[in-house]
């Protein structure tokens, strides 16, 4: 008898993709479509919600067709998404009243700054685990209600609905029968009490968002209804939902306290599973929901590095190093040992744990025999050293999560470099495990759906479907590692403005 199949829908910022998995975690086929982004004003980023829905249906159909299997073999759909993007639509027609405002959008920066000046950030962090930043959904939602004619009155009359992209897709896929989100996406809105696990009246009042607009909050593995039969040829249960970084945490098998993953793309997201403890960060890291399963919530600390792979791209585009990332990697391998060059890639400021938006990049330690090879290696080292910054901050915030051997599970474009994997282990002093199959976000969505569909007995069994890994153990001695980190901290201190 053929193994049941799980269809993962991965709705990202620049593309929509579907991947068909076997329950054991093997990918059978995938399909994708690019998504158009609009930039109507400086700092504004928008999507067309209808385009996202149409692309989602198309790629799910295509992935199953490519596999040569039948839609009738699909046991469940798992959905993962760009977490903080918001949509508001009419309850009666399903028509969006405004384009989706994307997580990257900065139009509510002034509103966030006003609340910060009023001393509200500590209150927000205590309830939601987040910081006051336009990155999150709540201020975007308030902006739509204020700027679209009649929206506030219509919201009060119950004529409007709202949600993050997962909510929009669930509502559309189920023909308007289910208005729901999961706890991970809810925890990124500035409107969710992460400890009480309910929408917060306090935050709704602060941001002027009526909670009646918001969806029901469900577990990551739960009943999200079934798709309309006309969309995919038959009704398919939607049984798993999670935000992209939390889905990747699941896809990397990080289901126990102390397990952590880092995704290295343009920037880097590092999440540490802290179990049922929701620590208050002393380094302004984010406290977020890692997963909610069977009504039991596990939490994570999250830190973001603004510039990771973007530094490699900078070397290609601005310093003229040919050959893309591979070209920079080959150049870095030619660097002199112990060259002392340190690059702080604060091109758009410093992220966690420094939080200095006005810091700017700099190169230190140049000598007459320094060249592009040394700068190239410093580019890779900068991501490793910023990772150590986050690990040290997390170790201080959640010491109980760091017990026994520490392992960092990695994925993303930069992780494909063996040289980077080794430098990451050397400069952080922890073991590094690179996923051999890189689509861990989609896999995580599939594993949550498999749990929701009863294909796995428990989360531990689902986590065993994580990919095989290529492992890197620290080879650098403690003394040179600590010397390199001291030089890094000195360089960071020189570029900081706060």
| pLDDT string in tens for the chain (498-residue length) | 578 899 999 998 889 999 999 999 999 999 999 999 999 988 898 999 999 999 999 999 999 999 999 999 999 999 999 999 999 999 999 999 999 999 888 889 899 999 999 999 999 999 999 999 888 999 999 999 999 999 999 999 999 999 999 999 999 999 999 999 999 999 999 999 999 999 999 999 999 999 999 999 999 999 999 999 999 999 999 999 999 999 999 999 999 999 999 999 888 999 999 999 999 898 889 999 999 999 999 999 999 888 898 899 999 999 999 998 999 999 999 999 889 999 999 988 888 888 887 889 999 999 999 999 999 999 999 999 999 999 999 999 998 887 766 899 999 889 999 999 999 999 999 999 999 998 999 999 999 999 999 999 999 999 998 889 999 999 999 999 999 999 999 999 999 987
Residue 350 has φ and ψ, to the nearest 5°, of -105, 135
137 in Cβ contact with 188 (< 8 Å): yes
| C-beta of residue 21 within 8 angstroms of C-beta of residue 93 | no
Distance CA 444, CA 247 (A): 4
* Overall residue count recorded for the chain in this entry: 498
Model-level pTM greater than 0.85?
yes
| Among 221, 215, 97, 229, residue whose Cα is nearest residue 173 | 229
Cβ-in-10-Å burial (0-12, 13-18, 19+) of 338 comes to exposed
Q: What was the pLDDT predicted at 413?
A: 87
CB of 133 closer than 8 Å to CB of 190? no
Largest interatomic CA distance in the chain: 71
Assign a CATH topology to domain 254-498.
Nucleotidyltransferase; domain 5 (3.30.420)
Enumerate the CATH 3.30.420.40 domain ranges in the chain, comma separated. Answer: 5-244, 254-498
Burial of 73 (0-12, 13-18, 19+ CB in 10 A): middle
CATH number of 5-244: 3.30.420.40
pLDDT at position 104? 85
């Amino acid at each position: 008898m053929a193994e049941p199949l799980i269809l993962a829908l991965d709705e990202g910022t620049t593309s929509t993709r579907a991947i068909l998995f076997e329950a054991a975690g093997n990918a059978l086929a995938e399909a994708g479509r690019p998504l158009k982004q609009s930039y109507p004003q400086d700092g504004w980023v928008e999507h067309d919600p209808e385009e996202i829905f149409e692309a989602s249906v198309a790629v799910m159909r295509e992935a199953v067709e490519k596999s040569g299997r039948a839609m009738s073999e699909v046991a469940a759909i798992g959905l993962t998404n760009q977490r903080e993007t918001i949509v508001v639509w009419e309850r009666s027609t399903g028509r969006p009243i405004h384009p989706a405002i994307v997580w990257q959008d900065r139009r509510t920066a002034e509103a966030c700054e006003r609340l910060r000046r009023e001393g509200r950030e500590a209150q927000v962090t205590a309830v939601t685990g987040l910081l006051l930043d336009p990155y999150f959904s709540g201020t975007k939602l308030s902006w739509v209600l204020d700027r679209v004619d009649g929206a506030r009155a219509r919201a009060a009359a119950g004529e409007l609905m709202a949600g993050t992209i997962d909510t929009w897709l669930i509502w559309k896929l189920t023909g308007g029968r289910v208005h729901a989100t999961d706890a991970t996406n809810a925890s990124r809105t500035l409107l969710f009490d992460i400890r009480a696990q309910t929408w917060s009246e306090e935050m709704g009042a602060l941001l002027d968002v009526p909670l009646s607009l918001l969806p029901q909050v469900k577990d990551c593995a739960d009943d999200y209804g079934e798709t309309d039969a006309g969309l995919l040829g038959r009704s398919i249960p939607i049984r798993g939902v999670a935000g992209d970084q939390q889905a990747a945490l699941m896809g990397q098998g990080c289901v126990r306290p102390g397990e952590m993953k880092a995704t290295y793309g343009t920037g880097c997201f590092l999440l540490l599973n802290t179990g049922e403890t929701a620590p208050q960060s002393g380094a302004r890291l984010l406290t977020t929901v890692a997963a909610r399963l069977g009504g039991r919530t596990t939490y994570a600390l999250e830190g973001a590095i603004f510039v990771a792979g973007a530094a490699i791209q900078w070397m290609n585009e601005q310093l003229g190093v040919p050959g893309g990332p591979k070209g920079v990697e080959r150049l870095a391998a030619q660097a002199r040992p112990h060259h002392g060059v340190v690059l702080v890639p604060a091109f758009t400021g410093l992220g966690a744990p420094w939080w200095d938006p006005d810091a700017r990049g700099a190169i230190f330690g140049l000598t007459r025999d320094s060249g592009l090879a040394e700068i190239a290696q410093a580019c890779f080292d900068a991501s490793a050293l910023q990772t150590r910054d986050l690990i040290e901050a997390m170790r201080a915030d959640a010491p109980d999560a760091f017990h026994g051997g520490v392992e960092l599970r990695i994925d993303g474009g930069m992780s494909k470099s063996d040289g980077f994997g080794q430098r990451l282990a050397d400069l952080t002093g922890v073991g590094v495990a690179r996923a051999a199959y890189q689509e861990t976000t989609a896999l995580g969505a599939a594993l949550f759906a498999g749990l929701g569909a009863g294909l796995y007995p428990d989360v531990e069994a689902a986590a065993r479907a994580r990919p095989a890994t290529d492992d890197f153990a620290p080879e650098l001695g403690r003394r040179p590692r600590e010397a390199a980190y001291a030089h890094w901290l000195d360089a960071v201190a020189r570029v900081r403005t706060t």
